[in-house]
Structure 1
Amino acid sequence: PDFAIVLKQSVQQGRANALWTSFGVGLGILVHVSYCLLGVALLLSQSETVFTAVKHLAALYLAYLGVQALRYAKPN
């Protein structure tokens, strides 16, 4: 949807308007990402249990990625 609105503004209103629309879209995404990160950071800082669970899940995911990389590595 973001691309479509920027494209529409570009075609109908010109480059300058499309750049301002792009800036607005980027700013909106920044706001959403910021409050999501702050909420997750607040949750992790307030709950040792949740922090430990997320830490263990992240370790398992990294181990999974490592195993997959080794499984599909091309032999020399």
Structure 2
Amino acid sequence: MIALLGGIAWAKLVRGQAKDEAKRCAEETVREWLNKEAPGIIRQHIDLLKDTSLGTDDDDKAADEIGKEAG
């Protein structure tokens, strides 16, 4: 009976530690991904937003024309 209770307690302890370690690893992986990939993704979106003319035309002029049409 004591061995059974000891085994159950040990299993709960190990499960708790594994859960904590899995959470730590997941957070670390996400943090690394954000540090490496997020700046490039944000830069792409900003560049797309800045590319008003959607071509080789002058973006500032295209933005002004869009602004005039919008009112």
TM-score by length of 1: 0.46
Q: Which has the higher contact order (CA 8 A, sep 6+)?
A: 1
TM-score by length of 2: 0.49
